[in-house]
Amino acid sequence: MYSIIVHGGAGEHKNTKEAKKGVIRAVKKGENTLKECKNPIKSVEESIKVLEEDINFNAGRGSVLTKKGEIKMDASIANSKKEIGAVANITDIKHPISLAKKIMKNKDHLLLGGKQATKHAIELGLETSNPYTKKRIKEWQEKKEQKNPPYSLSDTVGAVAINNKGKIAAGTSTGGKSLKQDGRIGDSPLFGAGTYVNKDIGASATGTGEGIIKSLLTSKVYEKYNKEKNLRKAIKKSIEEHTKHISKKINSCGVIAIDKKYNISFNKNTTHLPVAYTKEGEEISSNL
């Protein structure tokens, strides 16, 4: 048995057709990886890599620009043994999730950031690429001309998978909020905020990072799951609580998760959260 779900962010998603194609492609890749090597970490990495290459999503190539007009990416990945790897504010690396995965195996550190992390990725032989796209540059130019440009969310990506032995993995990758302050780090690289995994569940969150960090959203889902023993209710209640207690300006969010019984669930308080998911023996489903 296996289950896998991917998301394409609680963002604006003006083009839901492209978002649907993207999340389906990503879940297919993740499913094939699970079939081939039964490794949930590899499956999460491969699904996220598909979305990091897809310019319709805000991760890897196609990431949004900071206030200064740069691209700074965050990512994290973790498994049921609480092996965690994370990166923040990295530039030019084709697959931030792959750097996070390499860091996972290190015993001395689990979160690397900035120029040094990018340099480390190059030393490790990870591929570099230009993440800037015409679409994001145009969006940035339009927004920066506005008087009080709003921070906006767009199209972060994440995945959760469980293999035939009940081992769970989850990951999240993003360019963060558009027009973010240089140096700003969101929830996506933070364990318990953007990504959470233990023996019982795995989860990936998306939405305004500042709010997600305040409510430790993905670990909240586990807290509720532990009480409720029902994944759907746990996510629903976590999002309700988050929406109520975090100020409106920063409470947009969405969560995907899988539990040890192979249940898949997701919910959001935003208009969009493109997802695609499947279980062994089932067709791929999407909410789009």
Which candidate in 156, 218, 270, 278 is catalytic?
156
Q: Does 174 bind ligand ASP (CB under 6 A)?
A: yes
Which one of 24, 153, 235, 276 is in contact with ligand ASP (CB under 6 A)?
A: 153
Is 171 an interacting residue with respect to ligand ASP (CB under 6 A)?
Answer: no
* CA distance linking residue 239 with residue 229, whole number of Å: 16
CB of 223 to ligand ASP, least distance (A): 20
Instruction: Report the nearest approach of ligand ASP to the CB of residue 166 (Å).
Output: 28
- Of 107-115, 130-138, 150-158, 262-270, the window that binds ligand ASP (rule: CB under 6 A) is 150-158
| Binding residues for ligand ASP restricted to 45-64, rule: CB under 6 A | none
Q: Which is nearer to ligand ASP, 168 or 193 (CB)?
A: 193
Least Å distance, CB 139 to ligand ASP, is 14
CA–CA separation, 193 and 209 (whole Å): 8
Among 25, 72, 177, 220, binds ligand ASP (CB under 6 A): 177
Of 72 and 94, which has the nearer Cβ to ligand ASP?
72
**Cα–Cα nearest to 8, from 283, 284, 271, 276:** 276
Residue from 3, 66, 98, 156 binding ligand ASP (CB under 6 A):
156
Whether 156 is a known active-site residue: answer yes
- Backbone angles phi and psi of 222, in degrees to 5: -65, -45
Q: Which is nearer to ligand ASP, 163 or 267 (CB)?
A: 267
Rounded least distance, CB 186 to ligand ASP, Å: 2
Whether the Cβ atoms of residue 78 and residue 85 lie closer than 8 Å to each other: yes
DSSP secondary structure letters along the chain: --EEEEE--SS--S-HHHHHHHHHHHHHHHHHHHHHH--HHHHHHHHHHHHHH-TTSSSSTTPPP-TTS---EEEEEEETT--EEEEEEE-SBS-HHHHHHHHHT-SS-SEEEHHHHHHHHHHTTPPB-----HHHHHHHHHHHTSSSPPPB----EEEEEE-TT--EEEEEEE--SBTPPTT---STTSBTTTEEE-SSEEEEEEE-HHHHHHHTHHHHHHHHHHHH--HHHHHHHHHHHHHHHS-GGG--EEEEEEETT--EEEEESSS---EEEEETTS--EE--
Out of 3, 4, 11, 235, the residue judged to bind ligand ASP by CB under 6 A: 11
- Minimum distance of ligand ASP from residue 53's CB (angstroms): 18
Least distance (Å) from ligand ASP to the CB of residue 207? Answer: 5
Determine the interface stretch with ligand ASP among 49-57, 139-147, 161-169, 180-188 (rule: CB under 6 A): 180-188
Q: For the segment 189-248, give every residue that binds ligand ASP (CB under 6 A).
A: 206-209
The catalytic residue positions are 156
Using CB under 6 A, list all residues that contact ligand ASP: 9-11, 153-154, 156, 174, 176-177, 186-188, 206-209
